[in-house]
Amino acid sequence: MKRAGVLLAGLLLAGEASAACRLSLSQPLVDYGLLRSDGQSASQAVSMGKRTVRLNVVCPGATVIALRFDGTPANAEGYRFGRQDYFNLTLQHPLLDGKPVELAQLYNHAERGGALRPGQVLVVLAGGLPATGRTFSAQVQVDTWLSSAAIAVRDKTTLEGNGRFELVPGG
């Protein structure tokens, strides 16, 4: 029996560009509940299913929106969950002031997409350039994976992953 959850806390970094912006999540805790092993051992990681929360950023004036997730890296693609497991984050359906926009890596605008990897920053683009706006929203897809060792525990075990979304000043 395992209890599993990913804690996603919304927190702003102090800085000129983002000091007055407000970042929020529709649900700061993704709880996978109690999991039971079916007795079979898997040789590969097993997905716990995808969960979605809503990320919102509201600023008093037009601002370039750039975001990162500050969490313990598990690998190049995701963040630590428990001792040897991981979760990935993907921002989907991004809107800036109610209009669809693209997301790209801050220092490589050619690398488009919403995958929020360790050590990387996503910036909002419109027409291929960083865009300014007052409100930003996106769905955050959380995809959590457990190893066969994590699934095979006999006693109640709590598995956690955590981190926080941060606005990057001057995106």
* pLDDT string in tens for the chain (171-residue length): 445 544 444 433 333 335 589 999 998 888 777 766 655 555 677 888 899 999 999 999 999 999 999 999 999 999 998 888 899 999 999 999 999 999 999 988 889 999 999 999 999 999 999 999 999 999 999 998 888 776 666 667 777 888 999 999 766
Considering its fold, how many domains does the chain have in total? 1
Residue 122's identity, in one-letter code, is L
- Give the torsion sign (CA, 130, 80, 70, 91): positive
The answer to whether 121 touches 109, Cβ cutoff 8 Å, is: no
CATH of the domain at 144: 2.60.40
89 and 116 Cβ atoms separated by less than 8 Å: yes
Range of 112's domain? 2-167
Provide the pLDDT for residue 110. 87
Centre a 10 Å sphere on the Cβ of residue 114 and count the other Cβ atoms it contains: 18
pLDDT at 18: 53
